[in-house]
Amino acid sequence: DITLYGVCLSMIGSVSLAVTTDMNIHFLRKPQPGTLIARGRNLKLGRSLFVGEVTIESEHATSPTAHATGTYAIPPGTG
């Protein structure tokens, strides 16, 4: 959630009240011990909604540990 929120705010600016409306997480495999890396990206930015995805990987893994998609409601007048 925090990674997607960061991507959302990077697109719309520092706006209060941008809130999570939906989040789906698919746990694909057990993570390796150590650091996890989350990479988020914008899928769609509209006037009232932001949709993004995150891929989570172990630091030295070759395939993802988890994949998430999320939607955030954007306050009126900011999108």
pTM tops 0.95: no
Residue 15: the pLDDT is 73
* Ramachandran bin of 34, using left for φ above 0, alpha for ψ from -120 to 50, beta for the remaining angles: left
**Local structure of 7: helix, strand or coil:** helix
Residue 13: the pLDDT is 87
Dig out the tokens for 10 from the structure: 């990077």
Residue 79: the pLDDT is 54
Dig out the tokens for 46 from the structure: 């509209």
Could you give all domains of the chain from N- to C-terminal order, each with its CATH number?
Answer: 2-73 (3.10.129.10)
Residue with tokens 């495999």: 29
Return per-residue pLDDT of the chain as tens, 79 residues: 999 999 999 998 887 788 999 999 999 999 999 999 999 999 999 999 999 999 999 998 889 999 999 999 998 876 5
